[in-house]
């Protein structure tokens, strides 16, 4: 472990999220809503960053894996839960079952990641992007046509299990695992694959394996994020996991700076806050009403301006250090 | 200032956390309805893929608010409508509704057109016990989310029944083919209800074909349908695809009428070259027609045209009715407290809206009549009213 502080940070974060989860009922629900979404988006962005940033692949299907997780977890709590748990199961039993659902969601998504990744990661360059794009579409079509998963209407009445504790401790775990993995001896392989695949292969490295590991780990956390998101909005449908959602996550990674975990975390938080900030701004006075109406336009304009001014990403402080490390 | 990066980052973190905590404290004071106005929340798809529906529905609601305020408001207070856009996106409505409830302390929530997004808001309104009135979500599941969820439109089983009766009585159809959009819950639901009723009444469904939202070419499905020689084709889809489907059906030489539900109703249906001719003799069921022969409807059409310079459609009329229904309940409750509005909404009987006289049943759905509109000479023409 090259970063002895990492584990301490992880524990601090888990304790802090416990505190937040406890205080949740005393906070403004709108604020809790935004915080929870930040937590979920951080998980998505950091896990995608492992694939797109650190390992240098290009996945456009992250929302698809999220969907696999969301449906798995919802099926576990909605259908399997009532059958397996005793009637009137208490808070702790419910929470334990939710943990099982989260892990199940992660594992199913990881399995999907393996199935998609194993054949396609032998490809180089842009081909993976196309394969993952196709995967995202297939997932949506499959869910839409499975009757007992609700078809196009999706699943409703999912129990509200996600709170700030789950969202933030899962985010902390994602950050911890991804950083620990990348900074380990094994993780250097990701960077080598990213920097120069041919050179890495000529050194005897099995780059395909590194890519698959990055892909499977990334998908695992996407699945967990999906499970959290389903038990947070309480309703899921295939449309919520389409191509647009994938793009949103890719944008977070690019804005934060590919391969910069801290930058990606901040970008995920900022891009979740931005639309809400614009919403607030438009509510302040009638003369600012146009801000609310042109939210999608302003969001797009900000992205264009950002890419023109800082193509390397907004938050790339440690660039030099990382290069010499 | 030349602080080391680590220190600077810690200060930044500290400030950020402090700001978050400050922002997160529950807003105090100004309980619901105690101020000088009555805040009513609305979430709508003002931009994005269903904006055509969201906009007119919002306009209808706006008109109702203006009329109420011009007539002196409710309980001596002005109604303040606070609208949030969800960009027709999934996941946005929940946040918007939480904002309306916790920040703006609204006494009730109006919205939405699409059933999927109404379903997103419903558990939240139920949890915080704020009444939600959906103007035009026709899927039965919406009001099943709890006793705080209402609607002013009829539901899909009723619409399916109406169209099954219409197909048999007016179109004299014995064999009908059904073409549904599996990507839209609305379409699947309406198709199923139609089928059940039509078969129960002795009709035959000769073909069931499916497509998905983004399809542009329907020739494969239409060719299969043509082979079964139906008397009519039921297409419960949204206007965007309907135009394409009808054009391609005519191209393949299918001459029988096509008919559908309220998803057809948008001026866009008749736009595009040849669309008006192809749709001649087709029908759809909906909630309201501006040609309806009732003084209430005529007055609404006049006022709407004066304010927005366009003829109102069913979504506008339902948006208008949703606000009036709420106003009616607030008046009868004599209070703008959500807990007092709810029982009054549930007790609504023979409420006289522009979309017809309605009574809310025990499942909080409106019992009311449907209107059938035909397409003649490139125009929507009122055909008949079907009562439940």
Q: Terminal CA-to-CA distance of chain A, rounded, Å?
A: 14
Q: Is B102 near chain A, with CB under 8 Å?
A: yes
Q: Do B24 and A31 touch (CB under 8 A)?
A: yes
Q: Do B116 and A239 touch (CB under 8 A)?
A: yes
Of A30, A235, A239, the CB nearest to B103: A30
**Mode of pairing for the β-strands spanning B258-260 and B366-367:** unpaired
In a domain, B5, yes or no: no
Q: Which residue has the tokens 């959602």?
A: A245
Asked whether residue B269 falls in the same domain as residue B181, the answer is: yes
Kindly list the residues of chain A whose beta carbon comes within 8 Å of any beta carbon in chain B: 26-35, 37, 141, 144-145, 151-154, 156-157, 160, 229, 233-235, 237-240, 244, 276, 279, 283, 292-293, 295-296, 317
Here the tokens at position B41 are 């929340």
Nearest to B223 by CA among B177, B190, B285, B163: B177
pLDDT of residue A275: 84
Q: Is B219 near chain A, with CB under 8 Å?
A: no
Asked whether residue B341 falls in the same domain as residue B275, the answer is: no
Here the tokens at position A59 are 């996945």
**A44 neighbors A62 (Cβ within 8 angstroms):** yes
Residue B379, min C-alpha distance to chain A (Å): 32
In a domain, B13, yes or no: no
Q: Do A153 and B23 touch (CB under 8 A)?
A: no
In a domain, B379, yes or no: no
ipTM of this complex prediction, to 2 decimal places: 0.79
**B327 neighbors B316 (Cβ within 8 angstroms):** no
In a domain, B7, yes or no: no
**B183 neighbors A237 (Cβ within 8 angstroms):** no
Q: Which domain holds residue B343?
A: 37-154+294-369
Asked whether residue B263 falls in the same domain as residue B311, the answer is: no
Q: Do B23 and A29 touch (CB under 8 A)?
A: no
Here the tokens at position A4 are 């002895």
**Mode of pairing for the β-strands spanning B109-110 and B132-134:** parallel
One pLDDT digit (tens) per residue for chain B, 388 residues: 455 555 555 555 555 555 555 555 554 434 444 578 999 999 999 888 788 889 999 999 999 999 999 999 999 999 999 999 888 887 789 899 999 999 899 999 998 998 889 999 999 999 999 999 999 998 888 999 999 999 999 998 899 999 999 999 999 999 999 999 988 878 888 999 999 999 999 999 999 999 987 788 999 999 999 999 999 999 999 888 899 999 999 999 999 999 999 889 888 888 888 888 999 999 999 998 888 878 888 999 999 999 999 989 889 999 999 999 999 999 999 999 999 999 999 999 999 999 988 999 999 999 888 999 999 988 899 988 888 7
pLDDT of residue B9: 57
pLDDT of residue A10: 85
Size of interface A-B (CB pairs under 8 A): 102
- Which residues of A are less than 8 Å from B185 in CB distance? 151-154, 237
Give the separation between CA B188 and CA B137, rounded to whole angstroms. 14
For the segment A78-120, what is each residue's pLDDT rounded down to a tens digit?
Answer: 888 888 877 777 888 888 999 999 999 999 999 999 998 888 8
**A221 neighbors A46 (Cβ within 8 angstroms):** yes
Give the separation between CA B10 and CA A316, rounded to whole angstroms. 17
- Which residues of A are less than 8 Å from B187 in CB distance? 152
pLDDT of residue B29: 39
Asked whether residue B162 falls in the same domain as residue B266, the answer is: yes
pLDDT of residue A16: 86
| Helix runs in chain B, H state only | 5-24, 51-70, 92-102, 115-127, 156-169, 185-200, 219-227, 239-251, 275-278, 295-308, 314-333, 338-346
Cis peptide before B49 (omega within 30 of 0): no
Residue A196, min C-alpha distance to chain B (Å): 31
Residues 278-317 of B with CB under 8 A from A: none
Instruction: Please state, rounded to an integer, the average pLDDT across all residues of chain A.
Output: 86
pLDDT of residue A198: 87
Give the separation between CA B128 and CA B99, rounded to whole angstroms. 12
A172-175: Cβ within 8 A, 24+ apart: A172/A10, A172/A13, A172/A14, A172/A17, A173/A10, A173/A14, A174/A42, A174/A43, A174/A46, A174/A47, A174/A221, A174/A224, A175/A10, A175/A13, A175/A42, A175/A46, A175/A261, A175/A265
Give the separation between CA B96 and CA B87, rounded to whole angstroms. 11
Torsion-angle region of A74 (φ positive above 0: left; ψ -120 to 50: alpha; else: beta): alpha
Q: Is B45 exposed, middle or buried (0-12, 13-18, 19+ CB in 10 A)?
A: buried
Asked whether residue B356 falls in the same domain as residue B255, the answer is: no
Q: Do B5 and A234 touch (CB under 8 A)?
A: no
For the segment A112-165, what is each residue's pLDDT rounded down to a tens digit?
Answer: 999 988 888 877 767 888 888 898 889 888 988 888 888 878 888 898 889 899
Of A144, A233, A279, the CB nearest to B120: A233
Of B85, B102, B188, the CB nearest to A151: B188
Asked whether residue B188 falls in the same domain as residue B279, the answer is: yes
- Which residues of B are less than 8 Å from A157 in CB distance? 123, 145
- Which residues of B are less than 8 Å from A283 in CB distance? 82
3-state secondary structure of A191: helix
Top-ranked range on mean pLDDT: pick from A15-24, A314-323, B110-119, B125-134: B125-134
Residue B305, min C-alpha distance to chain A (Å): 23
* pLDDT of A18 higher than 70: yes
Nearest to B88 by CA among B139, B138, B133, B46: B46
In a domain, B31, yes or no: no
Residue that terminates a domain, selected from B286, B316, B334: B286
How many domains would you assign to chain B?
Answer: 2
Give the separation between CA B233 and CA A241, rounded to whole angstroms. 32
Asked whether residue B83 falls in the same domain as residue B59, the answer is: yes
pLDDT of residue B21: 52
pLDDT of residue B30: 40
Interface residue of A149, A156, A297 to substitute, partner B, most B CBs within 10 Å:
A156
pLDDT of residue A13: 86
Asked whether residue B268 falls in the same domain as residue B170, the answer is: yes
Asked whether residue B311 falls in the same domain as residue B222, the answer is: no
**B82 neighbors A283 (Cβ within 8 angstroms):** yes
Asked whether residue B192 falls in the same domain as residue B143, the answer is: no
Give the residue on B whose Cα is nearest the Cα of A242.
B90
3-state secondary structure of B178: strand
Give the residue on A whose Cα is nearest the Cα of B120.
A235
Give the separation between CA A280 and CA A271, rounded to whole angstroms. 15
Least confident of A17-21, A60-64, A180-184, A221-225: A17-21
The alpha carbon of B152 is separated from its chain's Cα centroid by a whole number of angstroms, namely 9
Give the residue on B whose Cα is nearest the Cα of A156.
B119
pLDDT of residue B252: 93
Q: Is the dihedral of CA B318, A275, B94, B103 positive or negative?
A: negative
Residue A193, min C-alpha distance to chain B (Å): 30
- Which residues of A are less than 8 Å from B46 in CB distance? 293
Q: Is B48 near chain A, with CB under 8 Å?
A: yes
- Which residues of B are less than 8 Å from A237 in CB distance? 90, 116, 185
**A210 neighbors A55 (Cβ within 8 angstroms):** yes
Q: Is B98 near chain A, with CB under 8 Å?
A: yes
Residue A240, min C-alpha distance to chain B (Å): 6
Cα angle at A294 between A288 and A296, to 5 degrees? 135
In a domain, B8, yes or no: no
Residue that terminates a domain, selected from B253, B286, B319: B286
**B282 neighbors B166 (Cβ within 8 angstroms):** no
In a domain, B129, yes or no: yes
Give the separation between CA A94 and CA A82, rounded to whole angstroms. 10
Residue that terminates a domain, selected from B286, B304, B336: B286
* pLDDT of A324 higher than 50: no
Q: Is the dihedral of CA B2, A266, B10, A5 positive or negative?
A: negative
Give the separation between CA B298 and CA B382, rounded to whole angstroms. 13
CATH code of the domain containing B191: 3.40.50.2300
- What CA dihedral angle connects B312, B314, B316 and B317, to 10 degrees? 100
With DSSP H G I counted as helix, E B as strand and the rest as coil, what are the percentages for chain B, rounded to 5? 45, 20, 35
Asked whether residue B339 falls in the same domain as residue B301, the answer is: yes
Residue A14, min C-alpha distance to chain B (Å): 16
* pLDDT of A319 higher than 70: no
In a domain, B30, yes or no: no
Here the tokens at position A83 are 């059958």
Asked whether residue B120 falls in the same domain as residue B97, the answer is: yes
Of B5, B20, B90, the CB nearest to A317: B5
pLDDT over 70, % of chain A = 95
Residue B113's contacts (CB-CB under 8 Å, 6 or more residues apart) are B44, B45, B50, B53, B54, B57, B135, B136, B137, B315
**Mode of pairing for the β-strands spanning B232-234 and B175-181:** parallel
């Amino acid at each position: 472990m090259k970063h002895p502080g990492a584990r301490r940070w992880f524990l601090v974060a888990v304790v802090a999220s416990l505190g937040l989860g406890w205080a949740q009922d005393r906070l403004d629900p709108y604020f809790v809503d935004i915080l929870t979404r930040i937590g979920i988006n951080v998980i998505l962005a950091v896990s995608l960053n492992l694939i797109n940033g650190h390992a240098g692949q290009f996945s456009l299907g992250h929302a698809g894996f999220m969907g696999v997780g969301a449906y798995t977890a919802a099926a576990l709590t909605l259908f399997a839960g009532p059958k397996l748990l005793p009637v009137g199961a208490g808070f702790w039993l419910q929470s334990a079952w939710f943990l099982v659902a989260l892990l199940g969601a992660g594992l199913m998504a990881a399995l999907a990641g393996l199935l998609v990744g194993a054949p396609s990661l032998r490809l180089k360059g842009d081909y993976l992007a196309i394969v993952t794009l196709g995967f995202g579409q297939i997932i949506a079509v499959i869910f839409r046509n499975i009757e007992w998963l609700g078809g196009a209407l999706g699943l409703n009445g999912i129990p509200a299990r996600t709170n700030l504790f789950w969202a933030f401790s899962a985010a902390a775990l994602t950050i911890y695992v991804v950083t620990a993995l990348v900074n380990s001896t094994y993780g250097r392989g990701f960077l080598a694959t990213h920097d120069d695949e041919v050179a890495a292969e000529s050194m005897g490295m099995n780059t395909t394996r590194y890519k698959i590991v990055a892909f499977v780990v990334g998908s695992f956390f996407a699945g967990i994020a999906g499970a959290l998101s389903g038990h947070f909005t309480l309703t899921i449908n295939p449309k919520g996991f389409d191509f647009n959602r994938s793009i949103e996550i890719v944008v977070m990674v690019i804005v934060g700076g590919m391969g910069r975990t801290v930058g990606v975390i901040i970008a995920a938080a900022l891009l979740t806050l931005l639309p809400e900030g614009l919403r607030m701004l438009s509510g302040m006075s009638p003369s600012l009403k146009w801000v609310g109406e042109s939210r999608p336009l302003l969001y797009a304009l900000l992205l264009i301006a950002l890419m023109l001014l800082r193509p390397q990403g907004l938050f790339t402080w440690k660039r030099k250090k990382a290069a010499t490390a | 200032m030349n602080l080391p990066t680590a220190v600077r980052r810690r200060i930044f973190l500290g400030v950020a956390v402090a700001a978050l905590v400050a922002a997160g404290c529950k807003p105090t004071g100004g309980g619901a309805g105690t101020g000088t106005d009555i805040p009513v929340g609305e979430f709508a798809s003002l931009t994005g893929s269903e904006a055509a529906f969201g906009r007119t529905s919002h306009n209808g609601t706006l008109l109702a608010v203006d009329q109420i305020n011009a007539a002196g408001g409710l309980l001596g207070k002005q109604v303040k409508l606070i609208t949030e856009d969800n960009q027709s996106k999934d996941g946005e409505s929940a946040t918007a509704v939480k904002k309306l409830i916790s920040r703006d302390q609204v006494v009730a929530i109006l919205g939405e057109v699409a059933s999927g997004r109404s379903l997103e808001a419903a558990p939240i309104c139920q949890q915080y016990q704020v009444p939600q009135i959906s103007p035009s979500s026709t899927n039965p599941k919406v009001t099943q989310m709890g006793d705080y969820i209402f609607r002013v439109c009829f539901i899909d089983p009723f619409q399916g029944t109406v169209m099954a009766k219409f197909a048999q009585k007016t179109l004299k159809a014995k064999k009908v083919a059904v073409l549904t959009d599996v990507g839209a819950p609305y379409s699947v639901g309406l198709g199923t209800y139609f089928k059940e009723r039509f078969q129960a009444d002795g009709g035959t469904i000769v073909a069931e074909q499916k497509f998905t939202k983004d399809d542009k070419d329907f020739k494969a499905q239409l060719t299969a349908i043509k082979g079964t020689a139906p008397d009519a084709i039921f297409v419960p889809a949204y206007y965007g695809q309907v135009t394409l489907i009808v054009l391609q059906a005519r191209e393949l030489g299918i001459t029988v009428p096509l008919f559908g539900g309220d998803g057809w109703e948008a001026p866009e249906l008749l736009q595009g070259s040849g669309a008006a001719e192809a749709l001649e003799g087709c029908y759809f069921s909906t909630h309201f027609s501006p040609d309806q022969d009732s003084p209430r409807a005529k007055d609404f059409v006049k006022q709407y045209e004066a304010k927005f310079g366009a003829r109102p459609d069913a979504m506008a009329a339902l948006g208008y009715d949703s606000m009036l229904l709420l106003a009616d309940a607030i008046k009868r409750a004599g209070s703008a407290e959500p807990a007092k509005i709810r029982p009054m909404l549930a007790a609504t009987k023979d409420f006289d809206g522009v979309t017809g006289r309605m009574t809310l049943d025990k499942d909080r759905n409106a019992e009311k009549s449907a209107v059938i509109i035909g397409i003649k000479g490139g125009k929507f023409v009122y055909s008949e009213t079907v009562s439940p």
